[in-house]
Structure 1
Amino acid sequence: MLASKKSLSREETTLVNIEPVGRYGLTPVWEDGHKTGIYTYEKLRAMCECDECRKKRP
């Protein structure tokens, strides 16, 4: 059985770069070197908290 990790290190949570993925999204690069996950522009817009974006939501 694997032990669960309770917290992330500073290196795992420090963003050092954002790389484009094609013409549809971005992938974050973290200080520890991992860069898994693609955030589509559509998903990022849906998560946006600014007043303009929130007004456009149903």
Structure 2
Amino acid sequence: MLQSRQSLSTEETTLINIEPVGRYGLTPIWEDGHKTGIFVYEKLRAMCECDECRRQRTGA
């Protein structure tokens, strides 16, 4: 049976860098050395709460 972990270590959650992936996204580099996952710009914009991104989403 797999055991689940309740929390992540500080090294697993401390962001130390961000690298571009092509022309479409970013990949985070974490303190423990892992860098899995791509965050595409479109998704990041959709999640962004700043005024400029909100205006772009609503077309105002």
Same fold (TM over 0.5): yes
Give the aligned residue type for 2:34.
H
Number of residues paired by the alignment? 58
Compute the TM-score of the two structures, normalised by the length of structure 2. Answer: 0.88
For residues 15-26 of structure 1, the aligned pairs below 5 Å read 15-26=15-26
Q: Percent of pairs identical after alignment?
A: 81
Point out where structure 2 has 5 or more consecutive residues left out of the alignment.
none
CA distance in 2 between counterparts of 1:38 and 1:15 reads 14
Point out where structure 1 has 5 or more consecutive residues left out of the alignment.
none
Compute the TM-score of the two structures, normalised by the length of structure 1. Answer: 0.90
Alignment partner of 1:19: what SS? strand
Cα RMSD (Å) of the superposition? 1.0
**Displacement of 1:52:** 2.1
Task: Show the counterpart of 1:40.
Answer: 40
CA distance in 1 between counterparts of 2:27 and 2:37 reads 6
CA distance in 2 between counterparts of 1:2 and 1:33 reads 24
Task: Give the 4+ runs in structure 1 shifted more than 4 A.
Answer: none
CA distance in 2 between counterparts of 1:32 and 1:19 reads 16
